[in-house]
Amino acid sequence: MTAFLRRWHRDDAAALAEIYARADEDLLNNIPDDPSLTGAQAWLEGIRTAEADGSTVALAIVRGDQTPVGNVMATAIDRRHSTAWISYWLDSNARGQGLAAAGLRSIVDHLHDELDVYRLEVGYRVNNPASAAVAESAGFIVEGRQRERLRYDGVRYDTEECARLVGDPRSLRRRLPILASETASPDDDGGSESR
């Protein structure tokens, strides 16, 4: 599948709501409480606001036809300590093709090299080997376990907490090209350029 990363657009709301509507258990834990079109629109507006204040970078994983199939993002970007929290998800129909791993490696490079974020952190449930493999493929190193950190449907789950530093070895494996203007969103009549 031809795929790349780009900024989320306001007109992605319908596609995002469709992904939410067919979400499996793993994806349900990563989407807003309101999976409707209104909820998707609110999530996109929240992303735009957080990007504007510099605390978030969110990139849609899209097919060649521009249809979103996933997301990689950095939140809680802290310039003082040069840290960020990483998350990622894929539509269940797009899994098994290495897209989350390739997208994560791309955003890691972007955050370290272009935004000068020194430490990136990620966490996942210990019973989620797919998420663990994605993090490992991008050079994240397990630093510890948090017991019963998350609660879904009344069940508590341990998480593994991982990090990668700017100087950690980088994988030579596949990356997704990032298509976006860093200065203007297509929603703001800005053009797109490939980096």
| Residue 120 and residue 111 in contact, taking contact as beta carbons nearer than 8 Å | yes
- CATH classification of 3-176 is 1.20.1600.10, yes or no? no
Which helix (H) or strand (E) segment is 132 a member of? helix 129-137
| Residue 61 and residue 71 in contact, taking contact as beta carbons nearer than 8 Å | yes
* DSSP states along 101-137: HHHHHHHHHIIIIIS---EEEEEEETT-HHHHHHHHH
| Residue 163 and residue 109 in contact, taking contact as beta carbons nearer than 8 Å | no
Give percent of the chain with pLDDT exceeding 70. Answer: 91
Instruction: Express each pLDDT in 2-54 by its tens digit.
Output: 899 999 999 999 999 999 998 887 787 777 888 899 999 999 999 999 999 99
pLDDT of residue 32: 80
Which helix (H) or strand (E) segment is 70 a member of? strand 68-78
pTM, 2 dp: 0.89
What 3-state DSSP class applies to 8?
coil
- pLDDT at 137 > cutoff 90: yes
The Cα–Cα gap between 48 and 26 comes to 25
- pLDDT at 170 > cutoff 50: yes
DSSP secondary-structure letter at 176? P
Between 129-137 and 99-109, two packed helices, what is the crossing angle to 10 degrees? Answer: 40
